[in-house]
Structure 1
Amino acid sequence: MKAYPLLLSAVLLAGCQSATTTDTAQAGAGTASAAALLTPGPWRGELAAQGQKIPFLFEVKTEAGKPVVYLINKGLNGEERLRCDEISAAGDSATIKLHVFDAALVVRADGQGKLRGAWVKYDSKTPYRVPLVATAGEQPLFQSTAAKGSPFSGTWKTEFKDKTGKSYPAVGIFKQTGRDVTGTFLTTTGDYRYLAGQMDGSTMRFSTFDGGHAFLFIGKPNNSQGIADTLNDQVYTKIKGDYYSGKSGHETWTATLDPKAKLPDADTLTYLKKGESRLNFKFPSIVQGSSISPTDPKYRGKVVVVQILGSWCPNCMDETAYLAPWYAQNKARGVEVIGLGYERSADYDKAAPRLRKLKERYHIGYDLAVAGTSDKDSVAASLPQLAKFLGFPTTIFLDKKGVVRSIRTGFSGPGTGQYYEDEKAHFNRTVDKLLKE
């Protein structure tokens, strides 16, 4: 978070725009070619990165005579299905644009009943291609052996450590049923979304792939410290493991079973500089030719929620999936939402279309602006009233007078189970309190 097969065609260099043609016959042929490659039904894909295999599940369906791909991620409270309907063909290859992300799967048949190709990220600063193989049919994420008991189930106080030795806290929440494990990690800036996998002996493997991010977690009981107790079933109290992100990201992690494990209060991590009480910004809207500021007449006398987000950010995607319908149901109460987008590119003509796609996908009715690039320094420079900014998403609540009343770092999404319900309840309590004033 190398090299790729030579079978990929020049379509890899097509960039982030959807394939278009003025020739209806060619478009029809492309759809037919893609449909011939993408057999309807369940599939299992496997990304090869860092000497590891990162598996994911997807389903191909035919809708209105065209193939549609659904990325499937399973978690604590069910599954999500991310619809990928921008599919084109060039020569013997098919390009599957991946949901809201500036990424694609580019594949072709290998003559042996499989698809081979690459996961391509177009918005990466350096060429980003990860080899891919996919096989049709109902299959588990991982091959596994029989499991006894549920030694990984529970809440875990966790610490991640990167290659430089820098560490950060997390809370792991896992549920094991037989061989199957679901769960996630919560951090101060969000969660790792839907994670699912299987237990193989004493090793737990789980993964996720949302189109923009591919994660693999491997965990084993930390037997070197003598913490595996054997009664009728095994009960682990410590775990050590590895976390692989895409083609280059790697961290290690350790965890201790702790039902009371929790993170710092998300309302205390981001705050204003001393003497500041308001936000002062004016950013270009994704509606070309217009701008957005909290002092605009539209927002006066209303509670305003400022969402700091990026279309590339999976936790922002989760928050947006909640905020968009919430806004539609609550805007008549006197509340507005402003989305400040920080994208991979500083070029408005590249950043705005990414946010427009997010708006279309999630039916966003509130205003979106292009505020900067996707790094902490850009946020700090564009919102100088903030004393500290930790990560995306961050949500800022303004009262009816435009005063900043609360700042919440991160968002616990639907992959976190009860934590997601708590997140929504907290959001509503905050807004309700401000509306009553």
Structure 2
Amino acid sequence: MKYQAILLLTFLTSIGFAQETTLPKLKKGRWVAGLQLNDKNVLPFEMEVQKVDGGYQFYVVNGDEMIEMQSPKVENDSIHLRFPYFNSELVFVADGKKAISGYWQNFNKKNYTIPFTAERSKKNARFSETKKKADMLAQVNGKWEVAFSYGSESEYPAVGIFNQEDEVVTGTFLTETGDYRFLAGNVTEDSLYLSCFDGSHAFLFKARKDGSNLEGRFFSGKHWSTKWMGKPNEQFEIGSPEKLTYIEGDSTVSFNLSNLDGKSVLFPNSTTEGKVVIIQIMGTWCPNCLDETMYYKKLKERYQDQGLEIISVCYEVGDSFEEHKENIERLRDRLGLDFTFVVGGSANKSLASSHFNMLNEVISFPTSIFIGRDGEVKRVHTGFNGPGTGDIYLQYVEETNALIEFLLAQ
């Protein structure tokens, strides 16, 4: 409550920028921001501010990822920065040319805001814990065998892939249902700090290095956290994403759901007959689904004239069909997608499993079903490891392109 009180006081006492269409003067360049998750933990992220005609262009930066925010809008005395793909925004006021303060609002969750501040910075460090230079830095470069929620019934494995240059670390975690996208952070002499903020994910990882092992805590947003530990292991692998979800028996894929106009969509149908079809079980709120969708857009553009169809069955945040439709249309229009979109309903894996009861279970958004011209399932892929995984993503793209070309040639 005290952070909300401080935030409210900031807004009430700030001088602001009185005219509705006037942006304040801000220093261009790199800014370091922090989401105040709780009393003890701040999730840092970086921003890039560039001057453009008529104002500024803002970016949120996570390692190699630069998220171009929508054009800033001034309402009353606050700047509103919408994320391009997810239903959330940054709202802030200027505290001079080199500082801003406000909050992040995630509209996919009811009354969900997290205070943040940001300052213009010329320093390389993402995390304030690295302000003191150490003679000897912890070494984390390479591949790690990781367990999240270890020692509990909900324990799950992951692969940590870290790239270290001096005190700067980038990388990600691969889980059996997808990766944790672009992580960036720092090391000190005995600790590792990583974070990611993309408008949906708000991830913070902290760990102490004890000998060769790491042990720490993973925070997701302001309400959830769990333990994690890792040890170096270049040979460690997790379960194959093509073996976790599968067709049971001799079942075929079929469904009867609604399109964005509320009209019934049957599968299979005459439109898809004789074509190669990818059925993507996904949600517009899901970062891994977004990464997969961006890749599928390239697939569709490259192979649609040869007979490739993509059907996205969307399970959405919201209480009504209209809310679900609005979410889907926002992503469709923003990315310029030429897919067939189907409304599955609320974001619930049990609901998805009931619609696709020919599968053993839908355990992840996204899950993709690859169907050949003969109507038979050729592959079911669980989750998605996106461009934040580097070579793993590139290998998947190469293999999937080859599969699509093979199926189209049948």
Task: Calculate the TM-score normalised by the size of structure 1.
Answer: 0.85
Structure 1 equivalent of residue 50 of structure 2: 61
Q: What is the CA–CA distance in structure 1 between the aligned matches of 2:122 and 2:104, rounded to whole Å? A: 21
Q: CA separation in 2, counterparts of 1:386 and 1:8?
A: 52
The alpha-carbon deviation at position 291 of structure 1 amounts to 4.4
**8 Å contact from structure 2 (residues 32, 119) kept in 1:** yes
Query: Per-residue deviation at 1:418?
Result: 0.8
Of 324-333 and 357-366, more deviation after overlay is shown by 357-366
Alignment partner, residue 240 of structure 1: 215
Q: How far did residue 66 of structure 1 move? A: 4.0
Residue 231 of structure 2 aligns with an amino acid whose one-letter code is T
User: CA 1:358 to 1:147, structure 2 compared with 1: closer, same or farther past 3 Å?
Assistant: farther
Match of 2:304 in 1: 331
Q: 1:245 to 1:147 in 2, by over 3 A?
A: farther
Change (3 A) 1:147 1:171: farther
**Match of residue 176 from structure 1:** 164
Distance 1:351 1:68, change over 3 A: farther
Question: Are 2:210 and 1:213 aligned?
Answer: no
- After TM superposition, the structure 1 = structure 2 runs for residues 17-416 of structure 1, keeping only pairs within 5 Å, are 29-32=19-22, 35-36=23-24, 39-50=27-38, 51-74=40-63, 79-110=64-95, 113-124=98-109, 126-139=110-123, 140-143=125-128, 144=130, 145-146=133-134, 148=136, 151-161=139-149, 165-222=153-210, 228=211, 236=212, 238-276=213-251, 278-286=252-260, 288-416=261-389
Contact 1:283 1:293 (8 Å CA) reproduced: yes
How far is the alpha carbon of 1:292 from its aligned partner? 3.4
Aligned CA RMSD, in angstroms, stands at: 2.2
Task: Show structure 2 runs of 5+ residues with no match.
Answer: 13-17
User: Structure 1 residue 423 and structure 2 residue 396: aligned?
Assistant: yes
Conserved 8 A contact 1:163-1:251: no
In the alignment of these two chains, the number of paired residues is 397
Q: 1:186 to 1:289 in 2, by over 3 A?
A: same
Deviation at 1:86, TM superposition (A): 4.4
Identical positions, percent: 31
Is the CA contact 1:37–1:108 (under 8 Å) kept in the aligned structure 2? no
In structure 2, distance between residues paired with 1:63 and 1:356: 29
Gapped runs of 5+ residues in structure 1? Answer: 11-27, 223-227, 229-235
Do 1:161 and 1:253's aligned partners in 2 also have CA atoms closer than 8 Å?
yes
- SS in structure 2 of the partner of residue 321 of structure 1: helix
Kept after mapping to 1: 8 A contact 2:25/2:97:
no
Q: Write the deviation string for residues 340-375 of structure 1: whole angstroms up to 9, x where unpaired.
A: 111112412111121112112222122222112112
Structure 1 residue ranges, 4+ long, deviating more than 6 angstroms after superposition? none
Contact kept in structure 2, 1:31 and 1:66, CA below 8 Å: no
Q: What is the Cα deviation at residue 430 of structure 1?
A: 2.5
Greater shift in the superposed pair: 46-55 or 103-112:
103-112
Go from structure 1 to structure 2 and tell me whether the alpha carbon gap of 1:164 and 1:102 turns closer, same or farther (over 3 Å shift): farther
Partner of 1:25: none
Please give the alpha-carbon distance, in whole angstroms, between the structure 1 residues aligned to 2:380 and 2:10: 46
